[in-house]
Homo-oligomer: A and B are copies of this chain.
Amino acid sequence: MKAQGIEVLLVFDPANMNYLTGYDGWSFYVPQLIVVALAEPEPLWIGRGIDLNGARETTYVEDANLYAYSDRYVHHDHRHPMDFVAHILRERELDNARIGLDMDSYYFSARGYEVLRRQMPHASFIDVTRLVSGLRSIKSPQELEYMRQAGQIMQRVMKVALGNVEPGIRQCDAVGEIYRAQMRGTQAYGGDYPAIAPMLPTGRGTSTPHLTWTDKPFVREEACILELAAARYHYHCPMARTVFMGDPPKRLVDAAMIVADGVQAALDAVKPGATCEAIEAAWRSVTAPRGIVKESRIGYSMGLNYPPDWGEHTMSLRPGDRSVLEPGMTFHLIPGIWMDDWGVEISESFVVTADGYELLAPFPRKLFVKP
């Protein structure tokens, strides 16, 4: 905070709130935050009244530092929870300060920002987007353990998914089995809700990554892309695979082989000291000569998160990103290929190790075919 020139930090991102205090619950649909101040020995939690006991159950924040706003502030035309937040900051004499904000957080709105500025005219607001998310990049041994457990669950989930994507089975029924496997986890540990719902575009829909499902049955001679995740205490392991029901067209078989080779080339470039863009360059060196060219990034850092995204929004595997890999960083390497009316996704989640990489969920890296 000193390096960024701020005295007070307002943390709205649920993953960052969890990281700093343990706070957990599906309450982020109303404004809530953690306040970290150089002048305060402990953080404050500010949230909605009905979530106060949730803060008591899940955080270490002492009672004197828990502030709950009345329901009168919730979804109201003329009152906003940020009115209450400003009131608390004034009371704590934290309003006349250099205040850092994650200006690009989903759960801190433009209206909330305007209210804060109006209510605290002597504060100066500084965008410190990714300050806390950046701290989350390198995982502790305990965090890696959760992600490996998510990886174990993910392997089971993908097996269940591939078993249920069959001509004649309704997409929604396959998704029911996928969710069930995501939550049941293993005998030793259960699963949590991933930050993104199962994505499984089928047929023409495979030309784009973010479609979900319908209640129509799967159809022979169509592909289905499965982009799924498993989560353990909100720590993720995502994985994508593609399955074709029938006799796959040569362009899809070829693309899947090139993608798999590209993924291996990218992984082979992973080691401490390498840059994010070097990983992408390794992919490109293998795939571009064979005709697979891709504008969008081929991966991103991920780990602890809440909806709507499991990505950390810090590092991207793409040209121009010179972030340097360090042991304990975790990425989803997902070079999705989306053409006019078809596509293929084969991904890997990995940890950077002392001398290379560790896959979180080893699984056959190929186009699956159901004859």
Contact = CB atoms under 8 A, between A and B. Distances in A.
Interface in A55-74: 57-58, 70-72, 74
A112 to B, nearest CB: 7
B189 A215 contact: yes
Contacts of A245: none
Contacts of A52: 208
A197 B112 contact: no
A91 interface: no
A110 interface: yes
A105 to B, nearest CB: 7
Nearest to A106: B106
A28 B212 CA distance: 13
Interface string A18-44: 000000111111000000000000000
Interface string A63-94: 00000001110111100100000000000000
A39 B53 CA distance: 51
Contacts of A238: none
Contacts of A211: 24-25, 54, 57-58
A209 B49 CA distance: 11
B208 A51 contact: yes
A147 to B, nearest CB: 16
A115 B320 CA distance: 22
Given A296-B71, A308-B308, A101 B110 contact: yes
Copies of this chain present: 2
A172 interface: yes
Contacts of A113: 110, 113
A295 B184 contact: no
Chain A contact-residue range equals 35 or more
A177 B170 CA distance: 18
Interface in A116-167: 127, 129-130
Contact of A176 (B49, B103, B183): B183
Contacts of A295: 49, 70-71
A257 interface: no
A328 interface: no
Contacts of A313: 75
Contacts of A107: 106
B190 A180 contact: no
B190 A214 contact: yes
Contacts of A171: 190
Contact of A184 (B28, B173, B191): B173
Interface of A: 24-29, 49-54, 57-58, 70-72, 74-77, 80, 101, 103-114, 127, 129-130, 170-173, 175-177, 179-185, 189-193, 196-197, 199, 204-205, 207-215, 295-297, 300, 307-309, 311, 313-314, 316, 318, 320, 336, 338, 340-341
8 contacts: A24-B212, A25-B211, A25-B212, A50-B209, A53-B340, A103-B111, A106-B107, A189-B215
